[in-house]
C-alpha cells in the first residue's frame, strides 16, 4: 500500500462557500485537494478506452486530471452535499470539446482531514444536459439528493441560477 500524498488545488470560491452555507455546510476553512490515490483510481477505473467505450464514456487522461482547477472554478453545474454510501460529496459537471466531465470530491470535516478531496472522475460521451447529469449521479438507491444544493453556472459562471 502506498503512502497517501496530498496536493492542494486551492481554496473554494466564494460562490461555493455561499451555496454550501445555505444547506448548513461550512467550506470556509477547507481546501480543494487531490491525492495520488485519486489519480491511481481514476486511471485504473476510468482510463481504459475499451472499458469506457462500453460504459458510454471516454477514457480519462492526465490532461483531464490537470484540468481539475478549471472544473471546480467554472463548472456548468454542481451538486453540493450529495450523500452517497454515507459520504458527503460535491459533484461537478464541465462540458468541453470531447464530452462531459463529471468530477466528485468528498467533503472531509474530521479532526485530521479538513478538505474537499478528489474522489473520482469520468467523462460521458457528448454534451449532457444538467438534468441528465443529475440523473447520472443519482442513479442508485444509495444516493440522497434531499438536502443537496444544485447550482447551475450561467455561461460558465457558477452561482447564477439554483435549481433547488
- Best CA proximity match to 98, nearest among 47, 60, 129, 133: 60
| Pair 17, 158: CB distance under 8 Å | no
DSSP string, the chain: -PPP-EEEEEPPPHHHHHHHHTTT---TT--EEEEHHHHHHHHHHH--HHHHHHTTEE---HHHHHTHHHHHHS-SEEEEEEEETTEEEEEEEEE-SSEEEEEEEEEEESSS-EEEEEEEEEEEES---HHHHHHHHT-STTEE-TT-EEEEEETTEEEEEE--
What is the rounded average pLDDT for all residues in the chain?
Answer: 90
Sign of CA dihedral 59, 66, 127, 103: positive
Of 15-19, 83-87, 139-143, minimum mean pLDDT range: 139-143
pLDDT at 111: 84
Beta-carbon count within 10 A of 59 CB: 17
pLDDT at 162: 47
CA atoms of 142 and 44, how far apart (whole Å): 24
The burial of 120, by beta-carbon neighbours within 10 Å (0-12 exposed, 13-18 middle, 19 or more buried), is given as middle
pLDDT at residue 86 above 50?
Answer: yes
pLDDT at 159: 52
The torsion region of residue 131 among left (phi > 0), alpha (psi -120 to 50) and beta comes to: alpha
Share of the chain above pLDDT 90, in %: 79
pLDDT at residue 164 above 70?
Answer: no
Q: Which cell goes with 111?
A: 479532526
| Higher-confidence position of 154 and 28 | 28
Instruction: Give per-residue pLDDT as tens, 7-40.
Output: 999 999 999 999 999 999 999 999 999 999 999 9
pLDDT at 141: 84
In this prediction, residues 41-54 reach a mean pLDDT of: 91
pLDDT at 158: 59
pLDDT at 107: 97
Amino acid at each position: 500500500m502506498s503512502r497517501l500524498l496530498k496536493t492542494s488545488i486551492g481554496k473554494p470560491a466564494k460562490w461555493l462557500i455561499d451555496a454550501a452555507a445555505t444547506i448548513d455546510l461550512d467550506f470556509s476553512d477547507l481546501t480543494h485537494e487531490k491525492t495520488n490515490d485519486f489519480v491511481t483510481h481514476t486511471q485504473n477505473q476510468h482510463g481504459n478506452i475499451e472499458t469506457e467505450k462500453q460504459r458510454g464514456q471516454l477514457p480519462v487522461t492526465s490532461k483531464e486530471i490537470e484540468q481539475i482547477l478549471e472544473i471546480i472554478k467554472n463548472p456548468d453545474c454542481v451538486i453540493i452535499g450529495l450523500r452517497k454510501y454515507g459520504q458527503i460529496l460535491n459533484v461537478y459537471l464541465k462540458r468541453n470539446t470531447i464530452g462531459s466531465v463529471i468530477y466528485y470530491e468528498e467533503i472531509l470535516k474530521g479532526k485530521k482531514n479538513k478538505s474537499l478531496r478528489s474522489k473520482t472522475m469520468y467523462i460521458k460521451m457528448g454534451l449532457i444536459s444538467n438534468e441528465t447529469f443529475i440523473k447520472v449521479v443519482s442513479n442508485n438507491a444509495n444516493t440522497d439528493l434531499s438536502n443537496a444544493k444544485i447550482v447551475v453556472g450561467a455561461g460558465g459562471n457558477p452561482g447564477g441560477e439554483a435549481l433547488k
